[in-house]
Amino acid sequence: MKTTRFRSGLLVAYGVLILAFLYLPLVSVGLASISKARYLSFPIRRYAYGWYEEAVTSDTVRDLLIISLKVAGLVTILSMVIGFFGALAFARYSWRFRKTYQKLILLPIFFPQTVLGLALLMWFNALDIVPSWKTAIVAHLVWIAPIATLIVSIRAFSFDAALEEAARDMGASQWQTLREVTIPLLMPGVTSAGLFAFLLSWGNFPLSLFTTGADSTLPEWLFAKMVSGYSPLVPTVGMLTVLTSAVLVLGALLLAWAIRRLRPTD
Amino acid sequence: MQRRERNLGLLYSAPLTIFLFLAFLAPICLVAAFSAMPEKVFSLTQMPDFSAYRTVLEQGYWKSVAWSLFMAFVATLILLVICWPLAFGMAKVFKRFTLVLTIGVVMTLFVSENIRLFGWVLTLMKGGLIEGYWRHWTGVGFDAPLYNGPIIVFGLVYVYLPFMLFPLAQGIAMVPDDARQSAYDLGATRWQILKEIDLPLAMPGIMVGSLLTFVLAAGAMAESKLLGGRAIITIADEVQTAFTYGQNWPLGSALAMVLIAIIGTVAIWAISKADLDKMMGRKA
Amino acid sequence: MTAKTPILRINALTKTFENFTALHGIDLNVDDGEFLAIVGPSGSGKTTLIRILVGMDEPTDGSVWLRDKRIDVVPANKRPTCMVFQSLALFPHRTVGQNIEFPLKLRGVAPAKRKERALELLDTLRLPRDYYSKRIQQCSGGEKQRVALARALAFDPEILFFDEPLSALDYRLRKTLEKELKDLHRRTGKTFIYITHSLEEAMVMSDRIAIMKAGHFEQIAPAEEIYARPKSRFVAEFMGEVNFFDLVNGTASDVTMSDSAGASLAGQTGTLTIRPESLRRLGEGDSADLSFEGVVEAEYLLGSRVQYRITLASGREMGVEVLRENAVPGGVGASLTVGCDLKAAHLIADAQSTEDTPNAAA
């Protein structure tokens, strides 16, 4: 039962349609960001890049950017460390509470983020911690560290346990086994977990909303502006955050491709 | 080695487990404790009277719960139908295009939900991308299809598409080609193959995808706020309002507990049935 | 074989998992420089045994001694033994050279010396020296085997263990490597302990074979002895096709004995085992110590030999294998008489083993 040319062509067309559906709103944002008019209305008559200039030079945007970067950067590093060890416990070792542990770390991923953010806000309040960008890191980690653990686990699952045993058999200590075998072999997984962690933290809104206190991240500021009326800076700054993510993802893909390309020829 | 593995497992799981106990389970317990307090208090020193739960029942908050669940259910059904052909293509038909689709869909996940929904507002509003150009070319305008119930479901479908698509593709990939081909060989029609082979064998993927989208959509809020103009107020929205504008932590907590109970039941039931080792391909 | 001192002593080793016992208090002595094969079907406990010997698992009870040192309490990374894994466990992120040098690096050997040793080992294993900088993924199956061996030899272990490293290879490559391994054993003079489920593999390479079944050794002996004088039905069957006849007080149904054979078997009880290839066709006037009359039920051509399934008078079946030139003229349906000398038959006196394999008749 071959899938005929016609049918597979139809399916490809459908896939393209779905991709278009997913990206259409971003096209609107992109077009809006280069419209010269202060009040947006399609069709756009005059294009200009003035809003980008304004966004890039704005102090507000700079402060938002710094906070977003600080949060995403620290979430990335912490997720990579937690995810590395968490994945070894998740996938690699047999221990008593493994199944329970596997289930526990899935729960935060399913949990409604708005409620999680509010619960954390109450919790910080109860602990007398003043919310700031630092508490937002904790909030992001509740959601992102389990995701990072799952991503590293996929790699850890495909990893032959005999490799660690062989290293030990040849006299490697606990630390030598980790350094010589486990870390290098899990590194691709840890790197992609780090990329995911950064991007998810960078784009997160519901968790940041309640846990950043007086500080504000880019998605928070964007939301505040969206609900309080249109500002031409909203599509511009929005587009800038989207482009940052896109550049990161494409850069990572290019790097992965280049590494694979270069290897077999050495 | 066995003793070593037991100890290492416990040791390496400790950072994440301790962190989740402190920053996930503890806050939920706090919410549970607050939900029992008399309304509008800001400390746990009062006698618990569970009055907030009565308010949830009496003040019509159950309507928000029902609407949230109903919209999540409808969105899940629509997503199943929309994603099936594409997931099938990704798992069985496409070659390189699967990678393109995967990257393309995953990348949207990294864009803040707000920006994407805001993009839909710009696309659909009067004078937006669609209506603006339509009017420009035909001279006839129409009202924006925004700020109503169906558009909220549309938003849910849009936002949670990846969460249905990938598990479905994973599930369909598990259907062996031999089984499909031998069914075809035995004279089954395409419809019969779908019903007798694909659906039952891809069931794990269907279940995971449906539960994931349902649970996420039931706790959603941004779609209603940005696209729906709060035509329907979701339960997550009510929780937020009670906490912020209402300054009624016990009521917010009680509403949150209702949502947690529903989502938790579905999620824990699903998670307890899943064998993660098997799903993720652990080696023996 | 000259008398050698045991390098490894296993004493009443027991391993119990939650609901079953994998090893039932087994004992074993291994001589210095010996090539011992431990053979058994899957689930016989051979993998558990080797994992305990190298230190990946802990025994529930008993002890393991390397010369005068008790090693079962020593962690794997402190034992002077090394194992070649079934999966080979070559590090995919390192080159061939780096893999071989790994144990030396752990010991802090200087890089120049490490490389020198690695190149020597490439020579020993008959791999080209330019493989030093090859990636593991670029090596073929047989080359990977040799790299894994080189890495184990670089460790310079007191005992080298093998966990079925050839099982994933195709037949011809396996045959080549079996011979190379035997050769390597002779050249290095090291003690090799090799576990496998293939008796054929064990017979080609080893000095002694230990047959394992359900957590204990059925028989430990040189290959010829195991073939000619199996201690139990299990061992006899493990060595290939075999016919069993229950001997009760010197008589067995379907078996016609000559006077001398009858005299020497008189009063004995046990299982008479006869290999199909020990039987020959008897013509008019030929005689043999033991003879059997039957009808050819089925005929299988095996190249230079022909195998028959014949039905005896009582209705039970028996396997016979003869050279092609001695083939039965009538083929299927022909009646024939086969026989063998008493010394080609082996009597398993132990009556207990009969219970283990009630349907053992070939």
pLDDT reported for residue C221:
92
Q: What pLDDT shows up at residue C356?
A: 44
CA distance A172 to chain C (A): 6
**Domain span including residue B152:** 55-274
Q: Is residue A89, in this structure, part of any structural domain at all?
A: yes
Interval A66-110: pLDDT, tens: 999 999 999 999 999 999 999 999 888 888 888 889 888 888 888
DSSP H helices in C68-170: 96-106, 111-124, 141-155
Q: CATH says C240-356 is which class?
A: mainly beta
- Partner residue facing A176 (CB), from C79, C82, C106: C106
| DSSP type of residue C215 | T
Cross-chain CB nearest to A170 (options C75, C93, C103): C103
Q: Which long-range contacts (CB under 8 A, 24 or more apart) does A63-68 make?
A: A64/A216, A64/A217, A64/A218, A64/A221, A64/A237, A65/A218, A67/A133, A67/A212, A67/A215, A67/A216, A67/A217, A68/A202, A68/A217, A68/A218, A68/A219, A68/A241
Give the position of tokens 């195998």. C307
In a domain, A211, yes or no: yes
Substitution target in C16, C58, C79, C163 with the highest count of B β-carbons within 10 Å is: C58
pLDDT value of residue A84? 94
Cβ atoms of A168 and A177 within 8 Å: the answer is yes
Q: Is A213:A135 a contact under the CB 8 Å cutoff?
A: yes
Question: Is B96 in the C-facing interface, judged by CB distances under 8 Å?
Answer: no
pLDDT: which is higher, C285 or C182: C182
pLDDT value for B223: 87
Instruction: Kindly state whether A266 is in contact with chain C, defined as any CB-CB distance less than 8 angstroms.
Output: yes
User: What local confidence, expressed as pLDDT, does residue A225 receive?
Assistant: 82
Statement: residue C27 has pLDDT above 70? yes
Provide the number of structural domains found in chain A.
Answer: 1
Which residue of C54, C82, C91 is in closest CB contact with A163?
C91
Local confidence band at C349 (pLDDT 50, 70, 90 cut-offs): confident
Say yes or no: C286 contacts chain B, CB-CB below 8 A.
no
- Cross-chain residue pair A171–C106, CB shorter than 8 Å: yes
Contact A142 B24 (CB under 8 A): yes
Task: For residue A11, tell me if it sits in a domain.
Answer: no
Tens-binned pLDDT, residue by residue, of chain B (284 aa)? 467 778 888 899 999 999 999 999 999 999 998 888 887 777 777 778 888 888 888 888 888 888 999 999 999 999 999 999 999 998 888 888 888 898 889 888 888 888 888 889 888 888 788 888 888 888 787 877 888 888 999 999 999 999 899 888 888 888 888 888 888 888 788 888 888 888 888 888 888 888 888 988 888 888 888 888 878 888 888 888 888 888 888 888 999 999 889 888 888 887 777 777 776 766 54
Does A129 map to a domain? yes
Residues A63, A248: Cα–Cα separation, whole Å: 21
C-alpha distance from A32 to closest chain C C-alpha (Å)? 48
Q: Which residues of C touch chain A, with CB atoms under 8 Å apart? A: 54-56, 75-79, 81-83, 85-87, 89, 91-93, 102-103, 106-107, 135, 137-138, 151, 155
Q: Which of residues 53-72 of B touch A (CB under 8 A)?
A: none
d(CA C225, CA C239): 11
* Structural domain includes residue B98: yes
Q: How buried is residue B6: exposed, middle or buried, by Cβ count under 10 Å (0-12/13-18/19+)?
A: middle
- CB contact at 8 A, C105 and C159: no
pLDDT band at C182 (very low <50, low <70, confident <90, very high): very high
Look up the domain containing A257 and give its range: 51-265
Number of separate domains in chain B: 1
Give me the half-sphere count of Cα atoms (radius 13 Å) on the Cβ side of residue B143: 4
Residue A266 binned pLDDT confidence (cut-offs 50, 70, 90):
very low
Q: Does B41 touch chain A (CB under 8 A)?
A: no
Q: What confidence tier does C362 reach under pLDDT thresholds 50, 70, 90?
A: very low
Residues of C in Cβ contact (< 8 Å) with A160: 87, 89
CATH number at residue B69: 1.10.3720.10
Is B2 a domain residue? no
Nearest chain B alpha carbon to A113: B219
pLDDT given at position B124: 87
Q: Which regions of chain C carry the CATH code 3.40.50.300? A: 6-234
Q: Which CATH number fits domain C6-234: 3.30.365.10, 3.40.50.970, 3.40.50.620, 3.40.50.300?
A: 3.40.50.300
DSSP annotation string for C300-361: EEETTEEEEEEEETTS-EEEEEEEGGG--TT-TT-EEEEEE-GGGSEEE--STHHHH-TT--
C56 → chain B, closest CA residue: B1
Nearest to C275, CA basis, from C216, C235, C221:
C235
CB of B17 within 8 Å of a chain A CB? The answer is: yes
pLDDT of residue C194: 94
User: Which residues of chain B are within 8 Å of residue C55 when distances are taken between CB atoms?
Assistant: 1
Task: Note whether C221 and C208 are within 8 A (CB).
Answer: yes
Within the 158-177 window of chain B, which residues sit less than 8 Å (CB to CB) from chain A? 158, 161
CATH 2.40.50.100 domain residues, chain C: 240-356
Whether C83 contacts C163, CB under 8 Å: yes
Measured between alpha carbons, how far is A105 from A150 in angstroms, rounded to an integer?
A: 9
φ, ψ (nearest 5 deg) of residue C256? -100, 125
* Chain C partners within 8 Å of A93 (Cβ): none
Yes or no: say if A81 and B14 are a contact pair by the CB < 8 Å rule. Answer: no
C-beta atoms of C106 and A172 within 8 A: yes
Q: What is the pLDDT of residue C353?
A: 43
Record: contact A168-C86, CB cut-off 8 A:
no
Q: Is A249 inside a domain boundary?
A: yes
Of A120, A154, A242, the CB nearest to B280: A154
A255: pLDDT strictly greater than 60: yes
At A100-110, the pLDDT tens digits run: 898 888 888 88
Residue B66 lies in a domain: yes
Residue A94 sits at the chain B interface (C-beta within 8 Å): yes
pLDDT for A2 equals 56
Angle at CA of residue C321, ends C316 and C324, nearest 5°? 140
Looking at residue B208, its pLDDT comes to 81
Minimal-distance CA residue of chain C relative to B2? C57
The yes-or-no verdict on residue C360 having pLDDT over 60 is: no
What's the pLDDT at C350? Answer: 57
CATH code, domain carrying A229: 1.10.3720.10
Arithmetic mean of pLDDT, C230-245: 86
Instruction: Report pLDDT for C359.
Output: 40
Q: Do C57 and B1 touch (CB under 8 A)?
A: yes
pLDDT at residue number B22: 92
Distance (Å) from the C-alpha of residue B9 to the closest C-alpha of chain C?
A: 16
Q: How many CB pairs under 8 A join B and C?
A: 10
A129 reaches C (C-beta below 8 A): no
pLDDT digits (tens, 9 = 90+) for C116-163: 999 999 998 889 999 999 998 889 888 999 999 999 999 999 999 999
Task: Tell me the chain A residues in contact with residue B257 when contact means C-beta distances shorter than 8 Å.
Answer: none
Q: How is residue B148 annotated by DSSP?
A: S
Q: Which chains share 3+ C-beta pairs under 8 angstroms with A?
A: B, C
Q: How far is CA A48 from CA A36, A51, A239, B128, C252, in A?
A: 5, 8, 14, 18, 106
Which chain C positions have a beta carbon within 8 Å of B3's beta carbon?
58
Minimum mean pLDDT range among A51-60, B209-218, C344-353? C344-353
Residue B115 touches chain A, beta carbons under 8 Å:
yes
**What value does the mean pLDDT of chain C take?**
87
